């Protein structure tokens, strides 16, 4: 295998692949590891739930969507890379996207600042939230959401006419 994609938090059930074991297999076979932590990445903010993401740090690349467990707008997705050289594709020059006359006129060149090329990066919203709440504040929100999910699951399990699809 050239690359393996693991999941850290499925949308439907919040399932997390066995990241340490997958990482070991990738290392053994020389494959790159990408972890899709779009849904579960917010657990990193929580001291209580962060251990569920053990092995995340071994990935070559990780995606996070902070609009899921980070209280951000939908465009606030991140790609984290272990090796900055993995971002060299962002430096690709395309005349229609890197117009010299725009740059000379003082207009910002957005191509290398966002994976969404010509669209603005939304990092300011993420930075403002982190500055305001900090990891501890966001962690408390994650803990609260997880506690509410557990409580709702308990209520569903206790109800005679409801069936829980999967535990949170």
Q: Residue 36: give the domain boundaries.
A: 3-158
Q: Is residue 61 part of a domain?
A: yes
- CATH code, domain carrying 99: 3.40.640.10
Q: Is residue 164 part of a domain?
A: no
pLDDT digits 0-9 by tens, 96-117: 666 667 667 776 666 655 555 5
Least confident of 15-29, 89-103, 119-133, 146-160: 89-103
Rounded to a whole number, what is the distance in angstroms from the first to the last CA of the chain? 32
Distance CA(40)–CA(44), nearest Å, equals 8
Q: Is residue 167 part of a domain?
A: no
Closest residue by Cα to residue 64 from 46, 73, 76: 76
Specify the pTM: 0.81
Q: Is residue 89 part of a domain?
A: yes
Q: Is residue 165 part of a domain?
A: no
Coil vs helix vs strand at 36 = strand
Classify residue 120 by its DSSP letter. Answer: P
CA 145 to chain centre: 17
Q: Is residue 125 part of a domain?
A: yes
Provide, for the chain, the percentages of residues in helix, strand and coil under a 3-state DSSP scheme, each rounded to the nearest 5: 50, 15, 40
pLDDT of residue 40: 95
Please tell me the total count of domains within the chain: 1
Q: Is residue 143 part of a domain?
A: yes
Q: Is residue 38 part of a domain?
A: yes
Collect all residues with Cβ–Cβ distance below 8 Å to 146 and sequence separation of at least 6.
Answer: 46, 48, 49, 168
pLDDT digits 0-9 by tens, 39-67: 999 999 999 999 999 999 999 999 999 88
Distance CA(77)–CA(126), nearest Å, equals 10
């Amino acid at each position: 295998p050239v690359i393996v994609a693991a999941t850290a938090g499925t949308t439907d059930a919040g399932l997390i692949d066995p990241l340490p074991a997958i990482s070991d297999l990738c290392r053994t076979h020389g494959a790159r590891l990408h972890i899709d932590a779009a849904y579960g990445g917010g657990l990193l903010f929580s001291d209580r739930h962060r251990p569920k993401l053990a092995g995340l740090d071994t990935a070559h690349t990780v995606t996070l969507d902070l609009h899921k467990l980070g209280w951000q707008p939908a465009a606030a997705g991140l790609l984290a890379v272990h090796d900055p050289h993995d971002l060299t594709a962002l430096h690709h020059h395309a005349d229609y996207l890197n117009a010299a006359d725009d740059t000379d006129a003082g207009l910002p060149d957005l191509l290398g600042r966002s994976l969404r090329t010509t669209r603005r990066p939304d990092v300011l919203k993420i930075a403002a939230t982190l500055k305001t709440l900090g990891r501890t504040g966001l962690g408390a929100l994650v803990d609260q959401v997880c506690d509410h999910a557990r409580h709702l699951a308990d209520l569903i399990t206790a109800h005679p006419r409801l069936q829980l699809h999967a535990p949170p």
